[in-house]
Amino acid sequence: MKKLFGTDGIRGKAGISPITPEEVYKLAYIFAKKTNYRNIAIGWDTRESSLWIANAVISGLKDANSNSEILGCVPTPVLAYTVKENFDGGIMITASHNPFEDNGLKFFNGKGEKIETSIEKEVEKEFFQSKIKPKIENFLKNQLIFNKDLTEKYLLRIAEKISIKSISKTYPVDCANGATSLFIKFASEKYGIDFQPYNTNPNGKNINFKCGAAKPEFIRKNSFAFDGDGDRIMAKDENENIVNGDIILMFLADKLKIKKLVGTVMTNMAVEIFCKNRNIQFERTPVGDKFVREKMKEINASLGGETSGHIILSDLNHTGDGFAVYLKMLELFNKENIALKNLTENYPLFPQKVINIPVKEKVPFENIKGFEQLKEKVEEILENEGRFFPRYSGTENLLRILIEGKDKEKIEQCEKIIKEFFNKTEV
């Protein structure tokens, strides 16, 4: 069967299948019919295409006899929390860390979690078989609106879990010209805290452009960063070292005395060793915060996440929540006089490199001529102190190859060999 869903919802070029008005309408209609959700919250990020997609979603839900509650331009975790507290389900219109030309849909169940794989398959099957004729209405005309009442409820809930009064010193935060841009100003007003936000002037085309957690090289020194829809968090210390999701996981596990931790196949080997040394149960999942959350529930873990900055702290939210984790880290920093540079000093990572290779199609690795020999050559260089891990992106046409080990020079040698191979090999 053809596939629509990747590792985090459905994504593609706005205006091109499956992100066209007619197909988005069908997806919303089928989602409502298959789940029987009658009250569905709708949110979106700052891409110029989000407004017409929202109109198509609302039209599809209306014709499926479901009510739409407009949250507007809010971070994904705000929508997820709001769904859990007030609605049957939710749809977030976003392509997360992708460039503005892309857009997509993330679907949530009544628990504020990404929908189950079984529901995704049902929606896919019906989508490719359905002959639905869309009737799209122009309900919305303003993209940069958001529901202040429901957003305030989220902020009040987070304030019950975090000592807001203890936060006197803050670190600047890059909002990626995305969904946190309006939200962070509202949060600052409600909490009486200056979060020193920057990149908060979305124009429909500058989301994730040389900014935010998706582009860590552009994060300012001694600063945090969210991605376009606010479910990721990264940082950079005063020495320009990147503080990624793996370092954040180790920091939180250490300070919160966590006994069980969930990462992914991409999680740095240093996290695994960190857990072993502290007698913390560590589990890996496929890439995707949905899979992390499923494993967390399975083993009753309260913390999990991805290298990319999706951090799930279930005491705060049931999905990756950049803002809530940022607040929690500020609380810990203030209470224990911790600086960002202490994280890179105290939780070092193994040298690691992810090489992104554009591909026309995602063919099996064994069908790439010479790939097995490349793998053997790299593993021989790394010996028994590293790993070679290839995977196709679930959201983009990319082959991602992770190389990791204790020796930085060997990693650089492997990177050169891999790039030379793909310069001569068409994929």
In the chain, % of residues over pLDDT 70:
100
Question: Contact 246/273 with Cβ under 8 angstroms?
Answer: no
352-424 has the same fold as 5-146: no
Tell me: pLDDT of 426 over 90: no
Q: Please provide the CATH number assigned to the domain covering 352-424.
A: 3.30.310.50
Question: Contact 226/177 with Cβ under 8 angstroms?
Answer: no
pTM here is 0.90
Q: Which pLDDT score is estimated for 150?
A: 96
Tell me: pLDDT of 294 over 90: yes
The catalytic residue among 59, 96, 181, 302 is 96
Q: What is the mean pLDDT of residues 45-58?
A: 97
pLDDT-derived band of residue 59, with 50, 70 and 90 as boundaries? Answer: very high
Q: What is the mean pLDDT of residues 179-202?
A: 97
Per residue in 206-256, pLDDT (tens digit) is 999 999 999 999 999 999 999 999 999 999 999 999 999 999 999 999 999
Clarify whether 393 is annotated catalytic: no
Provide the residue type at 263 as one letter: G
Q: 5-146, what's its fold?
A: Alpha-D-Glucose-1,6-Bisphosphate; Chain A, domain 3 (3.40.120)
Tell me: pLDDT of 57 over 70: yes
Tell me: pLDDT of 424 over 90: no
Q: 149-346, what's its fold?
A: Alpha-D-Glucose-1,6-Bisphosphate; Chain A, domain 3 (3.40.120)
Per residue in 33-50, pLDDT (tens digit) is 999 999 999 999 999 999
pLDDT-derived band of residue 336, with 50, 70 and 90 as boundaries? Answer: very high
Q: Which pLDDT score is estimated for 384?
A: 78
Tell me: pLDDT of 1 over 60: no
Q: Which pLDDT score is estimated for 8?
A: 86
Cα(179)–Cα(95) distance, integer angstroms: 11
Q: Which pLDDT score is estimated for 395?
A: 73
Cα(312)–Cα(159) distance, integer angstroms: 17
Q: What is the mean pLDDT of residues 158-186?
A: 97
Q: Which pLDDT score is estimated for 44?
A: 98
Bridge pairing between strands 197-198 and 398-405: unpaired
Length, in residues, of the chain: 427
Q: Which pLDDT score is estimated for 39?
A: 98
Domains in the chain: boundaries? 5-146, 149-346, 352-424
Maximum Cα interatomic distance, the chain, rounded to a whole number of Å: 61
pLDDT-derived band of residue 2, with 50, 70 and 90 as boundaries? Answer: low
Question: Contact 60/29 with Cβ under 8 angstroms?
Answer: yes
Per residue in 76-111, pLDDT (tens digit) is 999 999 999 999 999 999 999 999 999 999 999 999
Average pLDDT for the chain: 95
For residue 126, with 0-12 CB atoms within 10 Å meaning exposed, 13-18 middle and 19 or more buried, which class applies? middle
Tell me: pLDDT of 311 over 60: yes
